[in-house]
């Protein structure tokens, strides 16, 4: 090969090398920012409370679609990533770990049960990711030993308030003097409501004539109900969920018990009417809202149009959890999980279940009124807003 040809080849190689170097992307160039805000959801998609969990997750997904169609939040699209807790506190921990460590969500909505919400606190703290519980009413969800849990929040009122509302209404409005309590000894929610109903009812001059317990999953309540019948109460307080409510209410009437029945926010479901319409007729429920309130009709209509199903209680609270989270992200000004958690502490918004003004020392909505609902011929009929004196 001649020297002239060699020189030409070397020159070509240098030109190609320089061109390739000039086109190469610098190693330290920052990646393009994500256009998605990942939000976790957890709740019961299987088991006895699946009807609530499915409705709640559907509501979250529907709202995210609506928000995204209007441009999203901070110019980004919301993405809902949801998993089934199976109603089990340990499974809730597994889900929380997966959402925070693998899916890298900036916040979590749910769960819809106190036991599950209580169990995930340490996982949330380690990940520095906030959770907004929907229908988890036990005080320990957000506060333990007088100290607020930094990443646990909720949109619902709590058991002491709910139990006091039920007892106050029973004593002050319905003028009942003697009450019986039937509750689930293995459930945090049921224990909490039973405790505060008993405390308030006695403070108002009433008597708890009998208190009987059962364990979740039981289907025969006749032994406990027989003791309750013998005590002849004016009212039976039944602070547990609709499946057991239906079974125990049917058995109570079969035994000839005519006392009024009363419960909390674990009752409202179309399933309760299907299973025990006649047995629960005339019963009273402490609820988070009036289902016939004009302000909630639009949400009910949109849900019905999308899923061809009626909106359950969890859907209303799921709606308010989404409103609360979107408000916090907007005020945080960026998609940062810790800044979002801080913004949640100063929430003050109007939801379909009422005003949600979060107390910084409790992470609970302060001052929410309860709705008293009466079951009349298979319908949930609003009686009044009530707060205990």
Q: What are the pLDDT digits (tens) for 285-321?
A: 999 999 999 999 999 999 999 999 999 999 999 999 9
Q: What is the pLDDT of residue 338?
A: 97
- Express each pLDDT in 153-167 by its tens digit: 999 999 889 999 999
Identify the band that residue 11 occupies on the pLDDT scale cut at 50, 70 and 90.
very low
- At residue 101, the 3 state secondary structure works out as helix
Domains of the chain: 36-157+293-358 (3.40.50.2300), 160-287+371-386 (3.40.50.2300)
N- to C-terminal Cα separation, the chain: 105
What is the model's pLDDT at position 175? 98
Our measurement of the distance from residue 39's CA atom to the centroid of its chain's CA atoms, rounded to an integer in Å, reads 15
pLDDT digits over 47-96, tens only? 888 999 999 999 999 999 999 999 999 999 999 999 999 999 999 999 99
Where helices occur in the chain by DSSP H, the ranges are 3-23, 50-69, 89-97, 114-119, 121-127, 159-168, 188-203, 222-231, 242-254, 270-276, 297-307, 313-332, 337-344
Asked whether residue 379 carries a pLDDT value surpassing 90, the answer given is: yes
């Amino acid at each position: 090969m001649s020297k002239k040809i060699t020189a030409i080849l070397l020159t070509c190689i240098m030109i190609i090398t320089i061109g390739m170097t000039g086109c190469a992307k610098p190693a330290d160039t920052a990646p393009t920012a994500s256009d998605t805000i990942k939000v976790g959801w957890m709740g019961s998609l299987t088991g006895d409370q699946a009807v609530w969990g499915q409705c709640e997750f559907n509501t979250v997904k529907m709202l995210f679609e609506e928000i995204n169609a209007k441009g999203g939040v901070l110019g980004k699209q919301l993405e809902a990533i949801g998993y089934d807790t199976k109603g089990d506190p340990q499974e809730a921990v597994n889900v929380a770990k997966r959402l925070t460590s693998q899916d890298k969500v900036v916040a979590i909505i749910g769960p819809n049960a106190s036991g599950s919400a209580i169990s995930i606190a340490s996982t949330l703290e380690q990940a520095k990711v906030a959770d907004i519980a929907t229908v988890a009413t036990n005080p320990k969800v957000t506060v333990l030993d007088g100290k607020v849990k930094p990443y646990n929040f909720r949109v619902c009122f709590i058991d002491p308030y709910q139990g006091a509302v039920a007892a106050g209404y029973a004593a002050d409005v319905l003028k009942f003097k003697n009450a019986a309590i039937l509750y689930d000894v293995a459930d945090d929610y049921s224990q909490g409501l039973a405790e505060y109903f008993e405390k308030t009812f006695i403070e108002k001059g009433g008597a708890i004539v009998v208190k009987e317990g059962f364990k979740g999953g039981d289907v025969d309540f006749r032994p406990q109900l027989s003791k309750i019948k013998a005590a002849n109460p004016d009212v039976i307080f039944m602070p547990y969920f609709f499946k057991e409510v239906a079974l125990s209410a049917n058995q109570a009437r079969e035994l000839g018990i005519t006392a009024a029945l009363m419960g909390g926010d674990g009752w409202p479901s179309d399933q309760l009417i299907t299973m025990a319409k006649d047995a629960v007729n005339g019963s009273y429920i402490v609820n988070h809202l009036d289902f016939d309130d004009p302000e909630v009709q639009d949400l009910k209509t949109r849900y019905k149009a999308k899923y061809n199903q009626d909106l359950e209680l969890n859907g209303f609270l799921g709606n308010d959890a989404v409103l609360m989270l979107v408000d916090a992200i907007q005020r945080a000004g960026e998609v940062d999980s810790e800044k979002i958690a801080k913004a949640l502490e100063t929430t003050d918004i109007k939801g379909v279940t009422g005003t949600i003004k979060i107390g910084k020392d409790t992470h609970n909505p302060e001052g929410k009124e309860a709705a008293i609902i009466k079951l009349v011929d298979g319908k949930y009929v609003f009686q009044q807003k009530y707060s205990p004196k």
